[in-house]
Structure 1
Amino acid sequence: MGIRLTQAPAEEPVTLEEAKLHLRVIDSSEDALISLLITAARAHAENVCRRVFVTQKWDLFLDAFPFYTYYGVIPGYVPVDQLPSAWMTMRNYAVRFRGSKIDIPFPRLQSVDAVQYIDALGNKQALDPSLYVVDNVSEPGVLTPKTGTYWPDTLNTTNAVQISFTAGYGDAKDVPAGIKSWIMLRVATLYENREQVAILNRGQVHDLPYVDQLLDSYRIMGYA
């Protein structure tokens, strides 16, 4: 599986003016630096939460549509008298089924824009949107074939399936306040400590535990 950004966000969740107000900076001599720190803080927060904030477009690549294999005798699926006796004893008859669900990373999923695949003959095809269902309420979003249909067969090659999608909360104004607050606090830390190692001249400095807890409500757990 691979993932590729095709359209970056048009703006950051926190504006330069908002960050400067938080930093109490009034001149413009370090605007470029502060803008860079905003981007770095936003990217880190997205990585921690495993979601994206302002609208972005991505391509998800899979080697094949999902399938799973069942091991064991399935009553009624294959006549028992057609199974080798050793298989009947060991209960290791294997049946391959077409799978269904595809998790779309980086919620909130706004739309699936295209599903393309390389068919068994090596031709690139576009899957008709009427043949799949998009669940953009679940997080992560889910793509499934329409009831009564199956994912098509693909060529045995890498990146045979390409899913183009749009994700994010929307514009900067739609990003939750907790995320914006974390970004501004992170920018302030990066602005104050510009070296890789901080030298403490006034005793020990402790992290404030509530800061990272600002992101807890937005983390996507149990999804790699």
Structure 2
Amino acid sequence: MAEPITLALAKKHLRVDHSEEDDLIGGMIADARAWVEEYTGQTLVQAPLTEQINGFEAQLLAWPIASVTGVTYLDADGAEQELTDDVWELRNAKRPAALRLKSGAQWPTVRHGNGAITVELTAGYATLDEIPGGIRRAMYVLLEGYYSRDAKALAEAIATAKRSCGPKSRGWRLPCR
């Protein structure tokens, strides 16, 4: 998986001009991405995900959603069926995204129970430039905190990263990968 910040950009930001700590800094990049993803509930690097939902118009946890590649459901008899895209459309102009019924279409009867509908999707930003600036800044600030190896500096970096991610970030959670 490619990280949203390259090793070269991280080293430049940290003013590191040697390669002895490349593995360490690479790990810090991954840690910063994971922290931001957990805090914001966003997937930063495009990846395939599977979500199980209980109803066709249920909110999807993943954000941002690049595409939905398939929808299957358990029918009333418990048999898995594919739901073709002539029945649904993805509404992802704002968070939370959801599948919506297309005009003139009808949802099939679904077996009652948790996870009766499976949505295969691709979530995440396609390029670093698409990641909101505040989220990128949060990653760089976290890198500084991690690299400092100082508990107080890290605590300050985390507080700054939270502010950089913005108030709309809290309260969302990532779907299981």
Q: How does 1:96-111 map to 2 (within 5 A)?
A: 101-111=57-67
CA contact (8 A) 1:132 1:146 kept: yes
CA contact (8 A) 2:39 2:170 kept: no
Q: CA deviation at 1:193?
A: 1.9
Q: CA deviation at 1:176?
A: 2.5
Provide the C-alpha distance between the structure 2 equivalents of 1:22 and 1:133, rounded to a whole number of angstroms.
42
In the other structure, the counterpart of 1:152 is: 108
C-alpha offsets along residues 89-114 of structure 1, whole Å, 9 cap, x if unaligned? xxxxxxxxxxxx22122322221111
CA contact (8 A) 1:116 1:124 kept: yes
- Over the aligned positions, Cα root-mean-square deviation in angstroms equals 2.5
Q: CA deviation at 1:129?
A: 0.5
TM-score, structure 2 length as denominator?
A: 0.83
In the other structure, the counterpart of 1:171 is: 127
Aligned partner of 1:113 among 61, 66, 69: 69
1:162 aligns with 2:121: no
Aligned partner of 2:17 among 26, 34, 42: 26
In the other structure, the counterpart of 1:39 is: 30
1:169 alignment partner, SS class:
coil
CA contact (8 A) 2:138 2:160 kept: no
Ranges in structure 2 where 5+ consecutive residues have no aligned partner = none
AA aligned opposite 1:45: V
Q: CA deviation at 1:149?
A: 3.5
Q: How does 1:172-187 map to 2 (within 5 A)?
A: 172-187=128-143
Provide the C-alpha distance between the structure 1 equivalents of 2:76 and 2:160, rounded to a whole number of angstroms.
53
In the other structure, the counterpart of 1:136 is: 92
TM-score, structure 1 length as denominator?
A: 0.67
When Rg is computed on C-alpha atoms for both structures, the one with the higher figure is 1
The 1:221/1:185 distance shift into structure 2, 3 A limit, reads closer
CA contact (8 A) 1:11 1:172 kept: no
2:125 alignment partner, SS class:
coil
AA aligned opposite 2:61: P
C-alpha offsets along residues 112-137 of structure 1, whole Å, 9 cap, x if unaligned? 11100121222211101100121121
The 1:37/1:223 distance shift into structure 2, 3 A limit, reads closer
In the other structure, the counterpart of 1:207 is: 156
Q: How many residues align?
A: 172
